[in-house]
């Protein structure tokens, strides 16, 4: 048997997974590593913690599985996106901690760029909005705050990388400084149309071009891992940011196909084919993957509060003990009893963009029971997903025919049935839930010809359960109408309207 090893470098843990020729995950190892929060709203990772934990889980996996390292034919990396690492190219030592995607320290700087009117130009080139999430202002912050950094960068002594780039560089013993198009497309520096680092943006953010990695397709021979690390010179052959890897892992290869990951929040991506669709409703335009000479684009929408609403019921309200019990509770009542929960705990994202809205539970009567509130919380996840898919369809002009799902809260059958009823399309849950790691294993396996073409992958990927719409359309329309009314009651007066010029 031959294998692919997938490294899944996430925000809280590093994982390694072994995937065989049949596309089965046959082993997983995982290690958490420290979160560093020096101030309110700041989040950092030590790049050496990332490297050491990632190397350790990969070595442990090979040892635990008792396989010959030479039977691993390819390596794939999928990673937390946007997180920014800068190191000295001669010593290999990072000059500062990695600034994590969640870190808000450059929000004011982003606000200044917005006030100076750069939003439209940046959106046209990168598909993104100006936000502290993305790498550009994080690089700028490090160059401006670490003593001597700017001079070193100007001299060409420093290298920048997102987490994939840092791991490639470490694994190849400093020989390869590279990234893939999906990770590059989250930096705010990459022109997603020309597939090049953009000179005008580099100038705007004061970033020397010499720091940037070379960008390649996601399925590509990047370089070989030094033998001392994993016992064999395994070819790094697949790279993709986590959400894009999940879209690939769900085999959303055709235009209009959508995947949703139901985790703490939700991440939805729609394949828009060779067209980079410009959103009028605050969705991001991003690169889904690059393969051979072709680039596929996606629209991306995110929801802040999905599984996190269930955590809130458990930890703050204390009306449930475990997330798992919400399914039976929701089914213990005939319907929502008129109750809607709008989980605007941190404002509302796509498509409302109201940072000042706050959450509400609406429509309660003396007969309202705990189960109604729990049901309303689960239903709020379904409504938000419908909101996002609605604007994806508007922006792209494509009507979705099915939804493919993964993530922790996709275990909840009530939620997925409700989702299918609301969208009036089938919801498909695959057998293998390690979708992100599988996605990058597929990308690596295609590059080394373990699998001939994406078509062959369709024989490996199986659906565990399909949820078919079973609600009358009129009822589902009325429920959604009620949600829109509930939303209107929590929106603030300071609502930001995103309907781009
Ligand atoms: P993340 O990767 O964002 O940490 P996961 O994909 O591990 O998230 O999913 C965890 C989230 O899913 C938690 O917020 C939890 O509340 C929610 N969750 C887990 N199981 C269920 C369930 N059976 N029903 C509803 N929500 C669930």
Residue 224 CB neighbour total at 10 angstroms: 17
As a whole number of Å, the CA-based R_g of the chain is 23
Residue 218 per-residue DSSP state: S
pTM of the model: 0.93
Query: If you measure from the C-alpha of residue 306 to the centroid of ligand 1, how many angstroms do you get, rounded to a whole number?
Result: 8
Ligand 1 in reach of 176 Cβ (< 6 A): no
Ligand 1 in reach of 263 Cβ (< 6 A): yes
- Rounded-to-integer distance, Cα 130 and Cα 148, Å: 27
Reduced 3-state DSSP string for 95-150:
CCCEECCCCCCCHHHHHHHHHCCCHHHHHHHHCCCCCCCCCHHHHHHHHHHCCCHH
Question: What sign does the CA torsion over 64, 66, 69, 73 have?
Answer: negative
Residue 500: the pLDDT is: 43
DSSP track, 354-366: BTT---EEES--T
Q: Which residues contact 29 (CB under 8 A, 6 or more apart)?
A: 15, 16, 57, 58, 60, 61, 64
Ligand 1 in reach of 323 Cβ (< 6 A): yes
Query: If you measure from the C-alpha of residue 494 to the centroid of ligand 1, how many angstroms do you get, rounded to a whole number?
Result: 31
Q: What is the dihedral of CA 128, 131, 136, 141, to 10 degrees?
A: 180
Residue 494: the pLDDT is: 65
- Backbone angles phi and psi of 186, in degrees to 5: -110, 10
DSSP track, 464-485: EEEEPP-S-HHHHHHHHHHHHH
In ligand 1, the atom with minimum distance to the C-alpha of 326 is 24
Q: Kindly state the helix (H) or strand (E) to which residue 275 belongs, with its residue range.
A: none
- Rounded-to-integer distance, Cα 421 and Cα 424, Å: 5
What CATH number does the domain located at 3-243 have?
3.30.420.40
Query: If you measure from the C-alpha of residue 307 to the centroid of ligand 1, how many angstroms do you get, rounded to a whole number?
Result: 5
Q: Which residues contact 123 (CB under 8 A, 6 or more apart)?
A: 129, 278, 500
- Residue closest via CA to ligand 1's atom 16 equals 307
Residue 348: the pLDDT is: 86
Tokens found for residue 162: 């997102």
Ligand 1 in reach of 308 Cβ (< 6 A): yes
In ligand 1, the atom with minimum distance to the C-alpha of 411 is 23
Residue 240: the pLDDT is: 97
Query: If you measure from the C-alpha of residue 2 to the centroid of ligand 1, how many angstroms do you get, rounded to a whole number?
Result: 33
DSSP track, 308-336: HHHHHIIIII-S-S-GGGHHHHHHTSSS-
Pocket test for ligand 1, best of 102, 310, 380, 437 (most atoms within 8 A of CB): 310
- Residues 359, 342: contact at Cβ < 8 Å? yes
Ligand 1 in reach of 173 Cβ (< 6 A): no
- Residue closest via CA to ligand 1's atom 1 equals 263
Query: If you measure from the C-alpha of residue 407 to the centroid of ligand 1, how many angstroms do you get, rounded to a whole number?
Result: 7
Ligand 1 in reach of 324 Cβ (< 6 A): yes
Ligand 1 in reach of 13 Cβ (< 6 A): no
Greatest C-alpha distance within the chain: 71
Ligand 1 in reach of 435 Cβ (< 6 A): no
Q: Which residue has the tokens 């794939």?
A: 76
Beta bridge pairs of residue 269: 259, 300
Q: Which residue has the tokens 């990168």?
A: 126
Q: Which residue has the tokens 């003396």?
A: 366
Q: Is 406 helix (H, G, I), strand (E, B) or coil?
A: strand
Residue 501: the pLDDT is: 35
- Rounded-to-integer distance, Cα 268 and Cα 389, Å: 8
- Rounded-to-integer distance, Cα 166 and Cα 168, Å: 6
Count of all residues that appear for the chain in the document? 501
User: Checking DSSP bridges between strand 214-216 and strand 258-262, what pairing results, if any?
Assistant: unpaired
Q: What is the dihedral of CA 329, 331, 334, 340, to 10 degrees?
A: 60
| Digitized pLDDT (tens) for each residue of the chain, 501 residues in all | 999 999 999 988 999 999 999 999 999 999 999 988 888 888 899 999 999 999 999 999 999 999 999 999 999 999 999 999 999 999 999 999 999 998 889 988 998 999 999 999 999 999 998 888 899 999 999 999 999 999 999 999 999 999 999 999 999 999 999 999 999 999 999 999 999 999 999 999 999 999 999 999 999 999 999 999 999 999 999 999 999 999 999 999 999 999 999 988 899 999 999 999 999 998 999 999 999 889 999 999 989 889 999 999 999 999 999 999 999 999 999 999 999 999 998 888 888 888 788 999 999 999 999 999 999 999 999 999 999 999 999 999 999 999 999 998 999 999 999 999 999 999 999 988 789 999 999 999 999 999 999 999 999 889 999 999 999 999 999 999 999 999 999 998 766 655 443
């Amino acid at each position: 048997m031959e294998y692919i090893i997938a490294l899944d470098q996430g925000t809280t843990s590093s994982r390694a997974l072994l995937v065989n020729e049949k596309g089965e995950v046959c082993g997983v190892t995982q290690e958490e590593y420290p979160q560093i929060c020096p101030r309110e709203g700041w989040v950092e990772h030590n790049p050496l913690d990332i490297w050491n934990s990632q190397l350790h889980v990969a070595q442990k996996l090979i040892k635990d599985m008792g396989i010959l390292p030479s039977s691993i034919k390819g390596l794939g990396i999928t990673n937390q996106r946007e997180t920014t690492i800068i190191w000295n190219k001669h010593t290999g030592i990072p000059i500062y901690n990695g600034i994590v995607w969640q870190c808000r320290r450059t929000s004011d700087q982003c606000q200044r760029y917005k006030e100076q009117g750069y939003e439209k130009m940046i959106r046209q080139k990168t598909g993104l909005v100006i936000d502290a999430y993305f790498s550009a202002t994080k690089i700028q912050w490090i160059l401006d705050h670490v003593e001597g950094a700017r001079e070193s960068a100007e001299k060409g002594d420093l290298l920048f990388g997102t987490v994939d780039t840092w791991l490639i560089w470490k694994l190849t013993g400093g020989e390869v400084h590279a990234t893939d198009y999906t990770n590059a497309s989250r930096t705010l520096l990459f022109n997603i149309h020309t597939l090049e680092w953009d000179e005008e943006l580099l100038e705007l953010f004061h970033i020397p071009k010499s720091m940037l990695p070379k960008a390649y397709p996601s399925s590509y021979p990047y370089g070989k891992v030094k033998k001392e690390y994993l016992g064999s010179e395994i070819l790094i052959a697949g790279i993709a940011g986590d959400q894009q890897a999940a879209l690939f892992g769900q085999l959303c290869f055709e235009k209009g196909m959508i995947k949703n990951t139901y985790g703490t929040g939700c991440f939805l991506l729609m394949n828009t084919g060779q067209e980079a669709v410009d959103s009028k409703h605050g969705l991001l335009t991003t690169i889904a993957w690059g393969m051979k000479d072709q680039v596929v684009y996606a629209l991306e929408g995110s929801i802040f509060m999905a599984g996190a609403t269930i955590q809130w019921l458990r930890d703050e309200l204390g009306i449930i003990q475990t997330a798992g019990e919400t399914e039976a509770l929701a089914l213990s009542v005939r319907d929502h009893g008129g109750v809607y929960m709008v989980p605007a705990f941190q404002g509302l994202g796509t498509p409302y963009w109201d940072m000042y809205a706050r959450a509400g539970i609406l429509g309660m009567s003396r007969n309202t029971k705990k189960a109604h509130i729990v049901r309303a919380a689960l239903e709020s996840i379904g409504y938000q997903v419908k909101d996002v898919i609605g604007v994806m369809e508007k922006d792209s002009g494509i009507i979705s025919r099915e939804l493919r799902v993964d993530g922790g809260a996709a275990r909840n059958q009530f939620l997925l049935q409700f989702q299918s009823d609301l969208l009036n399309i089938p919801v498909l849950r695959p057998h293998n839930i390690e979708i992100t790691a599988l996605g990058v294993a597929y990308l690596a396996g295609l590059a080394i010809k373990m699998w001939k073409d994406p078509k062959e992958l369709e024989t490996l990927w199986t659906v565990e359960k399909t949820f078919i719409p079973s609600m009358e359309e009129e009822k589902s329309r009325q429920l959604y109408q009620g949600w829109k009314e509930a939303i209107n009651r929590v929106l603030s007066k300071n609502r930001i309207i995103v309907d781009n010029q």
